[in-house]
Amino acid sequence: MQFGQYPAPGHVIAHLSDPHLLADGAKQYGVVDTEVGLALALARIARLDPLPQALVFTGDLADRAEPAAYARLRAFVEPVAAAMGAQVVWVMGNHDERATYAAQLFDETLADGDDATQDRVHDVDGLRIVSLDTSVPGYHHGEISDAQLAWLAEVLATPAPHGTLLALHHPPIPIPMMPAAEVIELLEQDRLAAVLEGTDVRCILGGHFHYSTYSTFAGIPVSVASATCYTSDPAPLERFVSGVDGHQAMTMVHLYDDRIVHTIVPVDEAAEVSGFPSDVRAQVEALSVEERRELLSRKDSPIYTGEIQVPGII
């Protein structure tokens, strides 16, 4: 049941980024336990209602592209996704290596010397999600080849029933809060814009920056999810760049017929200072619209004056 004016979302997607898993429980920078951040994020997703239909990971899946790190990633993510009936969409990042990524996540063997970009198309109940590989072997910045652009144009030539999400690692937007990252941005972004204009791409999902940010590209909304490992402090004190062990977050993506809502979800729990238990929802659903407004909107409602104590408020 919806309490407000809008219908339920047609699609729900969990957007996670930059897990940077390491093999053998190694810690990132000797400090950050990347598995903890990922596990916390997955646990918070698993409690949501409605559950997501897909988990999208926008790159930098394995910090050093170790095969065992990808195996750990699958061991963490796939059972959770299966339990909620969600697809998993992997995206290549600059820390990933194509051959290892293909072998470990898709059981595909690339021939020696084959450096095929890892681009894939997923159908999530009529919503198309394109995973586009913006990585450059041996570098941290991003590029998209002519062949990839031609492939993408061909994919997008046929609209999907509910449109397309383009998932890539290097977001095609300015980076005013972390100028250092401009050195490792996606190059020649105009070429991508020319392909996307006039298509059914409804949103671009990205990662790479390790903090949440939003913009548009070729008129298309862009949402960048933070990281589940270390994050970038966008307001550090006298630092060119500053990675910190805190503020980890993911983004929930709710798609409606005519819009998309993005919600940043912190990975860490925080101490509750007010709230109602979840069984109150059924009680609120049982009320009429007017009764709900009187109970929950009226300033001198007994739940706000303290006359009714939680739990069992109604």
Binding site for Fe ion (CB under 5 A): 18, 60, 93-94, 208
Q: From the CB of 121, what's the least distance to Fe ion, in Å?
A: 22
- Which helix (H) or strand (E) segment is 44 a member of? helix 34-46
Q: From the CB of 223, what's the least distance to Fe ion, in Å?
A: 16
Smallest CA-to-CA distance from 93 within 184, 189, 16, 170 is with: 170
- Which helix (H) or strand (E) segment is 213 a member of? strand 213-217
Angle at 143 between CA 95 and CA 247, to 5 degrees: 45
Q: From the CB of 113, what's the least distance to Fe ion, in Å?
A: 25
Q: From the CB of 177, what's the least distance to Fe ion, in Å?
A: 16
Q: From the CB of 60, what's the least distance to Fe ion, in Å?
A: 3
Instruction: Return phi, psi of residue 27, to 5°.
Output: -100, 140
Structural Rg of the chain based on CA atoms: 21
- Which helix (H) or strand (E) segment is 248 a member of? none
Tokens encoding 65: 């592209």
Which residue's Cβ lies closest to Fe ion? 60
Q: From the CB of 22, what's the least distance to Fe ion, in Å?
A: 13
The sign of the dihedral angle between the CA atoms of 215, 169, 83, 201 is: positive
How close are the terminal C-alpha atoms of the chain, in Å? 18
Instruction: Return phi, psi of residue 180, to 5°.
Output: -55, -30
Distance CA 144, CA 92 (A): 12
